[in-house]
Structure 1
Amino acid sequence: MENFKLTNHFTIKGISAASGLVYSQNVLFVISDSSSFLYQFDIDRKLLLKFPLVKNAKENIEKENKPDLESITQHGNQLIMLGSGSTQKRNSMFTLDLGTDTLKTQDLTALYQKLKTIGSFTDNQLNIEGAIYAHQTMLLFQRGNSKNSRNGIFIIPNNQEEGIRFIPISLPTLDDIETTFTDAILIGDKIYFLACAENTESTYEDGEVLGTVLGIMHAPTFEIINVQLLSKHQKFEGITLYKESETEIKFLLCEDNDTETLETTIYQLTLKK
């Protein structure tokens, strides 16, 4: 993976702690891990709309009460947003129909407890940071940034009677600390993922950021094909497909700079094919 270019694409005022994004028809949908709104940014008109996901939705929610929305993915006309599961208050899933604006909420406590059992995780080790829904299957990306935890992918078929699996994934290190998943998307038969190294042993407390890598994984086997260092000091937490041609592919990225400032920079990453 060579010949990549990372640039500041634009800034959105009104969002802090961006943690995931989906681009669709010149609209950027953004979630924040400290907010209970879904943000909708019209790129042409530079217009930001806020869609409340709960009654009395708030921004800059205190750490112990935040829903910690870390994953957003699109399936057809549906946007799916998930809490990380790292505390009892972070177990919600929201599904928004973009055609009708119908919002549904689901408590994932039972499912997340099942994931802990299957992956042999303690209550403070589960930390879902990315989601992909394809082929009647949900892939949830576990960020192994707590003590003795592991990176990996939960494979959850629509028919859970077929069995949920956990696939441990070994990721590269930065400054002798293993990077951990922060987001992933599926394009064709490849998974493009972000992974960050952070000097912390907690899913709850932030640590010194040591950098972010972009990796490419063969989707059918989860074999890592290539990895590229994107930054030595930034924590990129969201990735979405922006544009694709025969010669290059462009992504939009968001960064969680761990501040309460209501401003988010969106980056454009261009990769040569």
Structure 2
Amino acid sequence: MPLPSGLSPPAMVTCAIRPYFQIPGISAASGILYHDRTLYLIADNSQYLYVFDPATDRCSTVPLAADPAEHIPKPAKPDVESLTLYKNRIYAFGSGSKPNRCLLYIYDLRSGSVVTEDLSARYESLQRSASVPASEFNIEGAVFRDGHWLFFQRGNGAGGCNGVFISRNEPGNAVRFVPVHLPDIDGFAASFTDATTVGDAIFFLASAEDTKSTYEDGTIIGSIFGRMNPENYHVEDVMMIPGRHKFEGLTFYRQTETALEFLVCEDSDSDEKTATIYLMTVPRALSYNP
């Protein structure tokens, strides 16, 4: 697949990244959100929301189920893959890649309450709108923008269909699906793993594995970071992330005069039970027009 914006592999810009926080007890980190000087995380094999205070280096948990569990075996895991903030509530979306992965957890930051919704019908509507078979459906990122939910479909199945579902925040409204072409990484197809917004800009993560399955893991090839056009969702800039990481969570952290800084988390597909949070520095000239 050709690279967007005329980029070729040798010329692709590389962003700077380094380990920043270590949080024990979390494996398979899949979603991350920085808000009000607090870092929120989810793991795809857990029924807890993790709340990390960078100032004290302490981590607490919010149960998302009546009888929550951690390190849930793969066939039964809820596969919560994305965190986003909307109206002072944190939304944690399941991927929808299996029938047991269609739950949405909503954590109210003011009251501390948690509400659970079944997204099966909504996800089926998304599938029908783009003729994406259930075996290929895999939501890895979600953001709310201009009255719409944007759901980022990870095209890591045999069909390789990356794209964005655009859905208004009211039931019964039509859904639009925009296919998105992503570059290869060392000859392997990249697919969405998360997305976030900074102002009007849309940023995303994508990773490549040696697999054609939305369920089975493969050898990790690497990850990229990019910016999308907010009007037509075309990829405008792409940057390589050094190393062979499968980064699955992306959140804006802070900005300087010359750069934007993001926090990212990874799912290493291992038994490691410590989450390493990385600081990624991206030149503003390449990534953002305020």
Q: Map 1:62-211 onto structure 2 (within 5 A).
A: 62-211=73-222
Amino acid at match of 1:231: P
Instruction: Report the CA distance between 1:231 and its aligned residue.
Output: 2.8
Cα-to-partner distance string for 1:171-206 (whole Å, 9 max, x where unaligned): 000122210000000112211100001111111110
After TM superposition, which residue ranges in structure 1, 4 or more long, deviate above 6 angstroms?
none
Q: Distance in 2 between matches of 1:3 and 1:20?
A: 23
Q: Are 2:57 and 1:13 aligned?
A: no
Q: Cα distance 1:4–1:61, how it changes in 2: closer, same or farther (>3 A)?
A: same
Secondary structure at 1:125's aligned position in 2? Answer: coil
Amino acid at match of 1:80: Y
Instruction: Report the CA distance between 1:271 and its aligned residue.
Output: 1.4
Instruction: Report the CA distance between 1:13 and its aligned residue.
Output: 0.6
Cα-to-partner distance string for 1:114-136 (whole Å, 9 max, x where unaligned): 11111212221100000001221
Contact 2:97 2:134 in 1 (8 A): yes
Q: Distance in 2 between matches of 1:149 and 1:245?
A: 37
Contact 1:75 1:134 in 2 (8 A): no
Cα-to-partner distance string for 1:59-109 (whole Å, 9 max, x where unaligned): 110111110000110113110010000000000001111011121110001
Q: Distance in 2 between matches of 1:228 and 1:122?
A: 31
Cα-to-partner distance string for 1:26-65 (whole Å, 9 max, x where unaligned): 2110000011110000111111101110111111101111
Partner residue of 2:234? 223
Partner residue of 1:4? 15
Amino acid at match of 2:89: Q
Q: Map 1:28-47 onto structure 2 (within 5 A).
A: 28-47=39-58
Quick check: 154-163 or 97-106, which moved more?
Answer: 154-163
Cα-to-partner distance string for 1:237-259 (whole Å, 9 max, x where unaligned): 00101111332111001011112
Q: Distance in 2 between matches of 1:223 and 1:134?
A: 16
Instruction: Report the CA distance between 1:160 and its aligned residue.
Output: 4.0
Amino acid at match of 2:271: E
Tell me the TM-score normalised to structure 1 length. Answer: 0.97
Partner residue of 1:270? 281
Instruction: Report the CA distance between 1:166 and its aligned residue.
Output: 0.8
Amino acid at match of 2:66: K
Secondary structure at 1:113's aligned position in 2? Answer: helix
Amino acid at match of 2:27: S
Cα-to-partner distance string for 1:219-241 (whole Å, 9 max, x where unaligned): 12212111011034110000101
Secondary structure at 2:75's aligned position in 1? Answer: coil
Amino acid at match of 1:30: L
Contact 2:248 2:266 in 1 (8 A): yes
Q: Cα distance 1:243–1:68, how it changes in 2: closer, same or farther (>3 A)?
A: same
Tell me how many residue pairs correspond in the alignment. Answer: 273
Tell me the TM-score normalised to structure 2 length. Answer: 0.91
Partner residue of 1:55? 66
Q: Distance in 1 between matches of 2:173 and 2:111?
A: 32
Instruction: Report the CA distance between 1:22 and its aligned residue.
Output: 0.3
Gaps of 5+ in 2: 1-11, 285-290
Amino acid at match of 1:115: L
